[in-house]
């Protein structure tokens, strides 16, 4: 937003593990730009993390940096753990306000015990700690939970690091729907297909994904339980079936169907059944999203001659136009508190992520890329994930709402697109 | 018409709680594990595990009229069928009327500019324009299905106008 702000490019590359570590263990976080107030924190290497597959301290640090609200203070070589009573003076001298210390150790049953403690080094105060007993596959989850604990303790808001992001990759003619950690790492394939997959959408409880699959040579909507792989074809009507959006209570999907001619909005039970028509226009109505309170639906319509974003009651009814600037505004996403609308606007041939404050209707363009797509809010509303093109390649980015802190998410090779940020984990 | 079949590779994965215990009440000097109570959690699958699904391949196609193109091209942001494609559509209408067992899927496509879902709706408009033209020529509507791939299946790669022009299209795909 503040275009006059000084932009600084900072790149942090963290290599996980020694030379013996497998290639997938390498991860990379790029942070561009600086925020105005960032909390300085030192995260000491966790004692014993060299024995585990995951470098807990590096994951926690990258999480906090990506949020834009923290600045990492170098803690290399510190030999501390959650049982230490650290001498706060050197940390204060380095400029840290807080210090996180911890350990990783193998339990007799094969699981890992991850412990940490957070210190306020200005006051010399113990800010508490946690321990997690996890299987190896959940070591990163434990690290993200630690980052969430620190984030909440120091900012007063819930962290989103232990949440999950869904996205789609295309490599050659293979399409994959992935479920990954919020940093894009630890991706697991939920669906592999020889035909496109688009528009994944998390249910509010974070267990199911709705998406559009072209595996039957036409777009149809599935609801897919990611833990079990069980899925159900919920919209396979004549013509195209697309753009699924969950109602906040998880019972209903808003979808775009062409069964009655044209692309129009319908609601349908999340378990399938007969759809109910929501809109009656001669043009295109698509990309529905429920407002967080479930009472209204934002959607895209070209009823006025060009695609614009509208809002209408969730049961259908009179739509009111929401976007007025420009002639191509699509892909609405509403923040969890209902205050912000993120969307994509075509501006001079470029497709740009916009953030509108719904109360004042002020709009800010928050990227300097030209092929932005598919914005989705983090469940705490402080970050947006979106797809774009960087150096000729598809990329997933996170950004703060003011556009000042951006990070490119790790991911599979090939083209990467269609991110959707899942809810807080139970 | 086209049945989606899938195979679930992995069955139910046991959910194991990622147990967390506050350390706040533990004296900082005490490092022994026995002082930190742990929720029991089995050493089974990870809490965050995902069961992968692999789809099968789509249904096959059959031949349409010999020596007649199955492609109709459109101008930018348009779904109007240009006059030069009228004879092509008439040839398909004749073929469909002479071959009562054939059905046709009309697949609409767009160029790569813009959003995926909005392009899906634009491609649908192109497919429906072709469907309406065939119905006007006497083909029964229930033998036609207009669907869209949006920008997902470009005919040619590239991001110049030459590529875009070949990607803004409707394809007629015959099935039995």
Task: Write out pLDDT tens, residues B76-111.
Answer: 989 999 999 999 999 999 999 999 999 999 999 999
- Judge whether residue B68 has pLDDT over 80: yes
- Residues A264, A298, single domain; the answer is yes
Looking at the structure, tell me whether residues A259 and A328 fall in a common domain: yes
Residue A155 has pLDDT above 90, yes or no: yes
Alpha-carbon span A6 to B97, nearest angstrom = 68
Among the partner-chain residues A190, A219, A236, the one whose CB lies closest to the CB of B52 is A190
CB pairs under 8 A between A and B: 238
Crossing angle for the helix pair B116-136 and B86-98, to the nearest 10 degrees: 70
User: Strands across the sheet with A329-334, in order?
Assistant: A329-334, A340-347, A350-357, A362-365
Q: Look at B57 and B136; give whichever has higher pLDDT.
A: B136
At B151, is the pLDDT very low, low, confident or very high (cuts 50, 70, 90)? very high
Measured between CA atoms, the residue of chain B closest to residue A241 is: B147
Mean pLDDT of all residues in A69-95: 92
Query: Does B107 fall in a domain?
Result: yes
The answer, for A332 touching chain B at a CB cutoff of 8 Å, is no
Residue that finishes a domain, picked among A155, A174, A203: A155
The residue of chain B nearest to residue A146, with distances taken between CA atoms, is: B20
Residues 6+ apart with CB under 8 A from A299: A254, A265, A279, A285, A286, A287, A288, A289, A309, A310, A311, A312, A319, A332
pLDDT-derived band at A412, boundaries 50, 70, 90:
low
pLDDT at A23 over 60: no
* DSSP letter assigned to residue A371: B
Q: Are A33 and A7 in contact (CB under 8 A)?
A: yes
Residue B59 included in any domain: no
For the cut 50, the answer to whether the pLDDT of residue A247 exceeds it is yes
Could you report the per-residue pLDDT of A304-328, keeping only the tens digit for each?
999 999 999 999 999 999 999 999 9
Check CB contact under 8 Å for B55 and A233. Answer: no
pLDDT at res. B28: 30
pLDDT of residue A372 exceeding 60, the answer is yes
Domain-located, residue B154:
yes
Is the confidence at residue A233, as pLDDT, over 60?
Answer: yes
Statement to judge: residues A148 and A254 lie in one domain: no
Using an 8 Å CB-CB cutoff, list chain A residues near B21: 130-132
Of the pLDDT bands very low, low, confident and very high (cuts 50, 70, 90), residue B23 is low
> Where residue A95 sits, what CATH number does that domain have?
3.40.50.10070
Same domain, A100 and A199: no
- Residue B59: count other Cβ atoms within 10 Å of its Cβ: 14
Contact state of A83 with B28 under an 8 Å Cβ cutoff = yes
- Among A39-48, A62-71, A250-259, A325-334, which is the least confidently predicted range? A62-71
- For residue B31, give both structure tokens: 């490092």
Q: If you average pLDDT over each of A13-17, B4-8, B86-90, which comes out highest?
A: B86-90
Chain A residues in contact with B151 (beta carbon < 8 A)? none
Last residue in a domain, options A126, A155, A184? A155
pTM (2 decimals)? 0.86
Work out the average pLDDT over A215-235: 96
State the pLDDT at residue A274: 96
Whether residues A195 and A274 fall in one domain = yes
Domain residues for A147?
37-155
Which of A156-170, A392-406, B87-101 shows the lowest per-residue confidence on average (mean pLDDT)? A392-406
Top pLDDT among A35 and A303 is at: A303
If you average pLDDT over every residue of chain B, what do you get? 79
**CB count, 10 Å around CB of A339?**
15
Give residue B46's pLDDT band: very low, low, confident or very high (50, 70, 90).
Answer: confident
Q: Does residue B158 sit within a domain?
A: yes
- Report if residue B36 sits inside a domain: no
Of A6-15, A105-114, B119-128, B133-142, least confident by mean pLDDT is A6-15
Q: Which two tokens stand for residue A14?
A: 């963290």
Q: Which of B20, B33, B41 sits opposite A130 (nearest CB)?
A: B20
**DSSP SS3 for A340:** strand
Residues A362 and A410 in one domain: yes
Residue B36 has pLDDT above 80, yes or no: no
pLDDT for position A338: 97
Closest approach of A186 to chain B, Cα-based (Å): 10
Q: Domain range holding B100?
A: 71-175
Report the helix count and the strand count for chain A, using DSSP H and E: 3, 31
Q: Determine whether the interchain pair B9/A179 forms a contact, defined as Cβ–Cβ distance below 8 Å.
A: no
Which of A155, A173, A201 represents a domain boundary (last residue)? A155
Is A295:A313 a contact under the CB 8 Å cutoff?
A: yes
- Output the pLDDT for position B60: 75
The answer to whether residues B14 and B48 touch, using CB atoms and an 8 Å cutoff, is no
Residue A14 lies in a domain: no
Question: Is pLDDT of B70 > 80?
Answer: yes
Give the residue from A119, A122, A121 showing the smallest Cα distance to A102. A119
Q: Which of A49-63, A194-208, B35-49, B69-83 has the lowest mean pLDDT?
A: B35-49
The residue among B10, B39, B105, B118 with the most chain A CBs within 10 A of its CB, best to mutate, is: B118
Instruction: Compute the C-alpha angle B6/B10/B13, nearest 5°.
Output: 135
Query: Quick check: A206 and A425 in contact, CB under 8 A?
Result: yes
Give mean pLDDT, residues A157-169: 96
Mean pLDDT of A356-383: 96
- Tell me the pLDDT band of A77, cut-offs 50, 70 and 90: confident
The answer, for A352 touching chain B at a CB cutoff of 8 Å, is no
The CATH number for A373's domain is 2.120.10.30
Q: How many helices (H) and strands (E) does chain B have?
A: 3, 7
A59 shares contact with chain B (CB less than 8 Å): no
Residues A59 and A199 both lie in one domain: no
Q: Is residue A19 part of a domain?
A: no
Q: Quote the pLDDT of residue A410.
A: 76
**pLDDT value at A302 more than 60:** yes
Choice among A29-43, B33-47, B102-116 with the minimum mean pLDDT: B33-47
Count of CB atoms situated within 10 Å of the CB of B19? 17
> Which band of pLDDT confidence, cut at 50, 70 and 90, is reported for residue A36?
low
Provide, rounded to the nearest whole percent, the portion of chain A with pLDDT above 70.
91
A309, A398: one domain: yes
Count of domains forming chain A: 2
Residue A9 lies in a domain: no
- Residue B18 included in any domain: no
Check CB contact under 8 Å for B116 and A213: no
Among A9-13, A45-49, B151-155, the least confident range: A9-13
Lowest mean pLDDT, pick from A20-29, A397-406, B89-98: A20-29
Looking at A200-214, A219-233, A279-293, B4-18, which range is the least confident one?
B4-18
Tell me if A411 sits within 8 A of A396, measured CB to CB.
yes
What pLDDT is stored for residue A227 in this prediction? 95
As a whole number of angstroms, the distance between CA B48 and CA A135 comes to 10
Q: Please tell me which residue, A2 or B123, carries the higher pLDDT value.
A: B123
**What per-residue confidence (pLDDT) applies to B42?**
33
Domain total in chain B: 1
Average pLDDT, chain A: 90
CATH of the domain at B83: 3.30.1330.60
Average pLDDT over residues A169-194: 94
CA of A116, closest CA in chain B: separation in Å? 8
């Amino acid at each position: 937003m503040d275009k006059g702000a000084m932009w600084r490019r900072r790149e942090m590359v963290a290599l996980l593990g020694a030379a013996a570590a497998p290639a997938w263990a390498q991860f990379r976080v790029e942070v561009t730009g600086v925020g105005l107030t960032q909390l300085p924190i030192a995260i000491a290497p966790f004692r014993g993390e060299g024995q585990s597959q995951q470098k807990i301290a590096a994951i926690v640090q990258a999480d906090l940096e990506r949020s834009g609200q923290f600045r990492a203070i170098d803690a290399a070589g510190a030999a501390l753990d959650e049982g230490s009573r650290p001498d706060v003076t050197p940390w204060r001298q380095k400029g840290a306000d807080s210090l996180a210390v911890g350990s990783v150790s193998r339990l007799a049953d094969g699981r890992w015990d991850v412990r940490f403690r957070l210190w306020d080094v200005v006051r010399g105060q113990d800010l508490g700690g946690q321990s997690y007993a996890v299987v190896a596959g959940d070591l990163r989850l434990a690290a993200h939970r630690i980052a969430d604990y620190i984030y909440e303790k120091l900012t007063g808001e819930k962290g989103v690091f232990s949440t999950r992001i869904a996205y789609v990759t295309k490599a050659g003619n293979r399409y994959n729907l992935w479920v990954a950690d919020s940093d894009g790492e630890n991706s697991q394939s939920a669906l592999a297909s020889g035909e496109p997959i688009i528009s994944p959408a998390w249910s509010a409880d974070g267990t199911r994904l709705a998406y559009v699959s072209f595996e039957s040579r036409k777009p149809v909507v599935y609801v897919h339980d990611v833990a079990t792989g069980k899925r159900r074809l919920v919209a396979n009507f004549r013509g195209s079936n697309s753009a699924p959006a969950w109602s906040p209570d998880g019972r209903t999907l808003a979808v775009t169907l062409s069964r009655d001619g044209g692309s129009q909005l319908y609601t349908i039970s999340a378990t399938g059944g007969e759809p109910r028509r929501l809109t009656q226009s001669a043009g295109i109505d698509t990309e529905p999203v429920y407002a967080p309170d479930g009472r209204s639906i934002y959607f895209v319509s070209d009823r006025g001659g060009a695609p614009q974003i509208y809002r209408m009651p969730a049961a259908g009814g009179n739509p009111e136009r929401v976007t007025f600037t420009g002639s191509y505004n699509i892909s609405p996403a509403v923040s969890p508190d209902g205050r912000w609308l993120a969307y994509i606007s075509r501006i001079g041939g470029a497709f740009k992520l916009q953030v509108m404050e719904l109360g004042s209707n002020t709009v800010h363009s928050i990227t300097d890329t030209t092929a932005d797509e598919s914005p989705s809010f983090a469940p705490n509303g402080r970050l947006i994930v979106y797809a774009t093109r960087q150096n000729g390649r598809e990329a997933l980015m996170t950004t703060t709402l003011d556009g000042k802190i951006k990070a490119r998410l790790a991911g599979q090779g090939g083209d990467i697109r269609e991110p959707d940020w899942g809810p807080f984990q139970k | 018409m086209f049945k989606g079949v899938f195979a679930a590779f992995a069955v139910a994965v046991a959910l194991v709680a990622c147990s967390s215990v506050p350390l706040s009440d533990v004296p900082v000097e005490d490092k022994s594990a026995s002082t930190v109570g742990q929720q029991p959690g089995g050493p089974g699958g990870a809490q965050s595990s995902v069961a992968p699904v692999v789809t099968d391949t789509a249904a096959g196609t059959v031949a349409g009229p010999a020596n007649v193109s199955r492609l109709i091209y459109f101008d930018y942001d348009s779904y109007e069928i240009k006059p030069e494609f009228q004879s092509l559509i008439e040839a398909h209408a004749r073929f469909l009327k002479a071959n009562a067992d054939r059905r046709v899927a009309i697949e609409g496509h767009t160029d790569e500019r813009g959003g995926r879902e909005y392009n899906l709706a634009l491609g649908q408009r192109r497919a429906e324009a072709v469907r309406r033209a065939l119905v006007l020529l006497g083909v029964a509507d229930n033998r036609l299905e207009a669907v869209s791939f949006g920008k997902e299946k470009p005919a040619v790669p590239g991001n110049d106008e030459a590529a875009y022009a070949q990607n803004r299209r409707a394809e007629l795909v015959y099935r039995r």
